[in-house]
Amino acid sequence: MASGVQELNARGLSDFLTAYNNTGPCSAGVLACITGIAGETPALHRSRFLLRVLGVCAVFFATSIAVSARDAAGLLDIVITPNDGMPAMGLPGAEFEVLTTAQAELSIEANGATHALTPQWSDALGGRKHALCTIPADAAPGLYALRARGADREDVNLRSVCVCGAFPETYTVAHITDTHIGSNRNARTSEDIFTELIQKVNATQAAFVLVTGDLTESGEPEQFKHFLDILNTCTLPTFVCSGNHDRKELNYERTFGPDSYVFWFGKDGYLFFDTKDFYVAEDLGPQAADIERQRRALKSARWSIGASHRYEADMGMRTQLALFIDDPLDWFIFGHWHRENTAQEKSVPWAAPDGATRITVTPAAINGAMRLFEIGPAGIVPGEVQTVVKVK
């Protein structure tokens, strides 16, 4: 069985390539119509949605997505996944999957050690390439950069492969949300606050970190670049998703790739999905079918845990049926509210036969907050909110 972001790579990547890459003359336009335009009101978004779907090929016939290297611009190039916001995780000898824009020599690198990979290549949609790789048996536990050497250039994506020494039965997960890089709402800069918060996270015993949206203040490319620079000071694997403040153009997708994905840590499955648009997880969007498939992929998990930027009771009903009614997640973790959930807000309002999905909301990182969860055989235990960074 493949490790890391296996469901995204094994099944969901074809959908991502169709919607997010230049696989046809109208692909960028389709994405723009589905995800919404920054600054557009909810009324306009809904009224124009179907018109955009029907007319997008004519409007965007010549549109394509320009992609730059993971270099000074901080954008994806040869390697699409895994990356530093969606790393692969596994034990030595485990398989993981790589999606690239072209076939290349692949290796993982850390602390001066380089391990060449022997990928099995196959074609993916849109002229992309899929590589099935094996973590080298002699790779020491830790985070590795993934290097791709193409015919005309190289691409290095930091912290993209995590070699695990073991998957313990009980472990800790860190959660931070709403970093708002680029905002000036506090006396200290958002960059300073996030930098110190990452240092605090590094000092924990967490196995990995969930970073749930509003990464930036307004979705500008330079804000994503600053976020990425600070994120890569983290010594733990980091899994990210977008928030409503990140929805400008395709800047999140150009930096981190697909919006929804699943990953495994030992027996436990995690599902990230996108809630950045005006109409949260809209039924007409392509993500609804992805979520149904991805939720099914986690049916064998000891604990199934969802993560996203926000929850709204009126979000897309198809998504809510898949995640909270038909096969309810055990827990759902998010941010957006800039406060902790109350005693009356401990679960989603829908009571499934197996019980309602419990929720935990962590206050905003821009205000210095984080939270740790303990995951073990007895259940999922959210810790108290920790305000660990002074923002004034």
Q: Which amino acid is at 253?
A: E
Decide if domain 68-163 falls under CATH 2.60.40. yes
Q: What is the pLDDT, as a whole number, of residue 356?
A: 87
Cβ neighbours of 182 (radius 10 Å): 20
- DSSP element (H, E) containing 14: helix 13-20
Are 248 and 39 spatial neighbours (Cβ–Cβ below 8 Å)? Answer: no
CA distance 13 to 10: 7
Residues of the chain with pLDDT under 50: 1-2, 4, 6-69
Secondary structure, 3-state, 45-103: HHHHHHHHHHHHHHHCCCCCCCCCCCCCCCCCCCEEECECCECEEECCCCEEEEEECCC
Residue ranges of domains in the chain? 22-59, 68-163, 171-387
pLDDT for res 304: 98
Containing 161, the helix (H) or strand (E) segment is: strand 154-163
| Model pLDDT for residues 145-193, shown as the tens digit of each residue | 999 999 998 999 999 999 999 999 999 999 999 999 999 999 999 999 9
Of 86, 34, 64, nearest in space to 285 by CA:
34
pTM of the model: 0.83
CATH of 171-387, picked from 3.60.21.10, 2.70.98.50, 3.20.20.70, 3.30.565.10, is: 3.60.21.10
